[in-house]
Structure 1
């Protein structure tokens, strides 16, 4: 295991570039994972871990087991001086391992749907925290897929992974365009329910989500674009009692999706 103490080490320079630059993640087809649990989720989902970085300080049993597992897989291992390791971590007091992994492709045509699927679609989400929270929601309900159209943020942004608590790795995800997803839904006979403020919108509890269903949500500032309203089979809303007319996008998605689960369990 190589010991590294300098920020000028070429390995560290590459690591920091992958942390900070979406363009470089795309060029190298790599991304950074922080945390033992998150690395384990990535391994379970079939991601290829290429390098592991650990602290020279005390390591928990989980970290030691991870190191042994990756050693058996002939992954490149590095032990970092404590100040250097902490400088690379967002969670400086709890992180014991960092990794560089190979990205996956997320094509719409590779999604493998079950019979009578339940899908969440997010149009042009921008905030990494919201994307991560949507991934956690999809994982929590064991929904069939998260589809992101016209994405404005790199899926492998460290803040997306961190806010998803590693759930980004455990769910099927597709990145695509609005036009492609409309064709996909029609060809698979999946009804589209769009969360939109319109005159024909009904409260989400009044709709039937027991058939093949896709629920679409838009960005908090602009909502869904006009094309979604035109292509939707149904418009749905969450009745608001306060002065505000909207919820955080991940909260709204969770409310609607778990109503769908409730209906399907009856």
Structure 2
């Protein structure tokens, strides 16, 4: 077995957005490793400074904002209506999603007081809108939201306490077309994000039960469909489909980053580049 990076070296390379291949390198001697580290660190620092300069001189908008705009344009073109809903939601709304005191997600919620929290998901508000909109609009009712969600996630390279969620939902889909529709919506989002070669995998969710996930190395999005047992809590009776994506994870995979922290809201990173370079 060859000599690998020290833990400090590997952490530094991860912070500088080294590729998986770079992180998995091995060497014949400590001297070779340390020389390679200096070279790799220098190249990644130069690359990061170039990206920051490009942000300042050319794009002037972070990739997260650009992706949001592209998704809004793509979805509205396909007949979806963008909505903006409150970040603070009630404990009762979470309970309608089956997230009660004993639920695994309950402990990840940021509570403001005994009855209110920062939303860990967008679905409760979209359910609420559906209930009113089905009285006002003809079906199918297509809505989506891009907004911040909050969870006390375990620390790691693929989790954030504060992340940007895209949730699109369509009420009134013929029951025999739900799977096809989910595939179409997943394709729309992934094409817009510039990601190919992903897989659709059946998984089990703590909220929705069986669901179809969008996977490329890690889970990028998860979907659900109704009729579903939760629908009764909201007075929804028509078949539907919904799919949600974490935008920081989409950027992480597209950019080949090993650290989702670099893609999110941060004072340490700017547009994927660590500032202490």
TM-score interval for Structure 1 and Structure 2 normalised by the shorter chain: under 0.3
TM-score, length-scaled by structure 1: 0.22
